[in-house]
Amino acid sequence: MTRGLLWLIGGIVLGGIAHLGMILLLPRIAQDDAYGRLVPVAPVNTMTTLAAPTAGHEMMPFLDPAIASAVCRYDLSKGPLQLSVKVSQAYTSVSFYTRLGVAYYTVNDRAAGRGAIDLSLMTEQQRADMPEEEDVTAADRLIVESPSATGLILIKALAPEPGLMDMARESVASAQCKPLPPTAPPS
Amino acid sequence: MSLRLLAGSLFSLIVAALVAVGLTWVAVEHDLAFGAVTIGSWTATPQRGTTEIDPYARAYMSRSGQLPLNVGDGLAYSARVDDSGKPLDGHCDVTVEGLTPQARFWTLTLYDPAGRLVPSVTGRHDFTSAEVVRRGDGSFTVTVAPEARAGNWLPSGGIDRYILMLRLYDTPLGIARQTVREIAMPSIKTLGCS
């Protein structure tokens, strides 16, 4: 009887450990996560405007129907990216996610100069490799460091009322995500 | 003796498998919401929108295909029950009334329990802070109901259960977490059911 109880406790403990392992592993093996759902519609290092969510046609659960969005599925292995978005009249934001969906940075239109959000996205290594003068000339340009080589950039513009949805969609459709032009080597 | 050992190990492994799969299933199918901030019937999980997101929330988000709302972007409060703890029922008239915390914009959206929009003849799934009709003191009442109502009517589509989500965009709340508990959120009351 005691022996049976020991086997039972052993099984529960082992199951608990296996459960923790499964939880930690799940984001890495999930095929149907947000990134996985975007793979078929969003080419790499290109901005793709997402269709407005309507009942029955939603890419992900809990999307805000008052928000127009565009996404850039990025891969920095070939070099840094530059991103620009014209801000809409209401509210515009740019959110960054790692490949596994961790939100690591966001910037909104408060930080926009001249009606646009302009920034460069690079890995820590690429940032370190930047020539110093380049760092100075780029001082007015926001530099975002990605903790992972791949991930997602989500552009959102709010339509405060349904009539302004076209305005919000125009804003996100203006967003660009492309490789940062190679800079001249330091003289 | 060895047969006993074999039976014992086999029993242990079966228990382990059941425990592991069972716990994991419960964890990813139900939103466990560790570290949630609750105000009335509203719940938010600000740390999910940061790099400090917990492993359970990551597993749940991955499994359901969601991207968390970055805490610098905004804060999402969701409600599944009214102020008396009654589940939100699409056959009833439910009022969402009062003031919202400080934010540049907010949106109030109705979803089915799986996070999908509910078909509506008017095409309305939400109200934004800019379009909601307010009283002189800035407060508002949104009525969630299956049939048209005067004022701010949010169609429930007559579904059995729904979720209301109040998203505050560009709010100082997410970052100053200690003040989150002291803010006022709109009340949710069920008036009557058809």
Chain B, residues 77-106, CB within 8 A of chain A, namely 104-105
Smallest CA-to-CA distance from A78 within A150, A183, A176, A154 is with A150
**CB within 8 A of B93, min separation 6: which ones?**
B143, B144, B145, B149, B190, B191, B192, B193
Count interface pairs A-B at CB distance under 8 A: 196
If pLDDT is split at 50, 70 and 90, which confidence band does A55 have?
confident
Q: What is residue A22's predicted lDDT score, i.e. its pLDDT?
A: 93
Instruction: Please give the Cα distance from B136 to B134 (Å, whole number).
Output: 7
**CB within 8 A of B22, min separation 6: which ones?**
none
pLDDT digits (tens, 9 = 90+) for A68-80: 999 999 999 999 9
Q: What is residue A133's predicted lDDT score, i.e. its pLDDT?
A: 64
Smallest CA-to-CA distance from B129 within B137, B140, B120 is with B140
Q: What integer is the mean pLDDT of A8-21? A: 94
Q: What is the mean pLDDT of chain A?
A: 89
Strand partners, A120: A82, A143
Residue of chain B with shortest Cα separation from A160: B130
Q: What is residue B2's predicted lDDT score, i.e. its pLDDT?
A: 84
Q: What integer is the mean pLDDT of B79-88? A: 95
Q: Are A122 and A134 in contact (CB under 8 A)?
A: no
**CB within 8 A of A163, min separation 6: which ones?**
none
Q: What is residue B32's predicted lDDT score, i.e. its pLDDT?
A: 81
When CB atoms are compared, the residue of A4, A15, A60 closest to B66 is: A60
When CB atoms are compared, the residue of B9, B18, B117 closest to A55 is: B117
**CB within 8 A of A140, min separation 6: which ones?**
A113
Residue of chain B with shortest Cα separation from A159: B128
Kindly tell me the burial class for residue B182, based on how many C-beta atoms sit within 10 Å of its own C-beta (0-12, 13-18, 19 or more): exposed
Q: What integer is the mean pLDDT of B98-115? A: 94
Residue predicted with more confidence, A17 or A114: A17
Strand partners, A113: A116
Contacting residues of B for A53, CB less than 8 Å apart: 117
If pLDDT is split at 50, 70 and 90, which confidence band does B181 have?
low
Kindly provide the ipTM of the predicted complex, given to two decimals: 0.89
Q: What integer is the mean pLDDT of A147-172? A: 94
Judged by phi (left if over 0) then psi (alpha if -120 to 50, else beta), residue B158 lies in left
**Tokens 């105000």 — which residue?**
B39
Q: What integer is the mean pLDDT of B22-40? A: 86
How far from A155 is each of A49, A70, A166, B6, B47, CA to CA, in Å? 9, 5, 15, 57, 21
Q: What is residue A180's predicted lDDT score, i.e. its pLDDT?
A: 85
User: By the CB < 8 Å criterion, does B131 face chain A?
Assistant: yes
Q: What is residue A181's predicted lDDT score, i.e. its pLDDT?
A: 80
When CB atoms are compared, the residue of A33, A66, A96 closest to B62 is: A33
pLDDT exceeds cutoff 60 at B164: yes
If pLDDT is split at 50, 70 and 90, which confidence band does A184 have?
low
Instruction: Please give the Cα distance from A122 to A12 (Å, whole number).
Output: 45
Instruction: Please give the Cα distance from A108 to B53 (Å, whole number).
Output: 21
Q: What is the mean pLDDT of chain B?
A: 90
User: By the CB < 8 Å criterion, does B34 face chain A?
Assistant: no
DSSP state of B71: T
Q: Are A85 and A148 in contact (CB under 8 A)?
A: no
Q: What integer is the mean pLDDT of A139-158? A: 89
Q: What integer is the mean pLDDT of B52-77? A: 92
Q: What is residue A80's predicted lDDT score, i.e. its pLDDT?
A: 93
Q: What is residue A88's predicted lDDT score, i.e. its pLDDT?
A: 87
CB-CB under 8 Å, B13 with A11: yes
pLDDT exceeds cutoff 70 at B140: yes
Q: What is residue A129's predicted lDDT score, i.e. its pLDDT?
A: 84
If pLDDT is split at 50, 70 and 90, which confidence band does A137 have?
low
Q: What is residue B179's predicted lDDT score, i.e. its pLDDT?
A: 53
pLDDT digits (tens, 9 = 90+) for B57-69: 999 999 999 999 9
Q: Are A186 and A85 in contact (CB under 8 A)?
A: no
Q: How close does chain A come to B63, measured CA to CA in Å?
A: 6
Residue predicted with more confidence, A107 or B181: A107
CB-CB under 8 Å, A12 with B72: no
Q: Are B68 and B165 in contact (CB under 8 A)?
A: no
pLDDT exceeds cutoff 60 at A135: no
If pLDDT is split at 50, 70 and 90, which confidence band does B22 have?
very high
If pLDDT is split at 50, 70 and 90, which confidence band does B1 have?
low
CB-CB under 8 Å, A91 with B105: yes
pTM of the prediction? Answer: 0.90
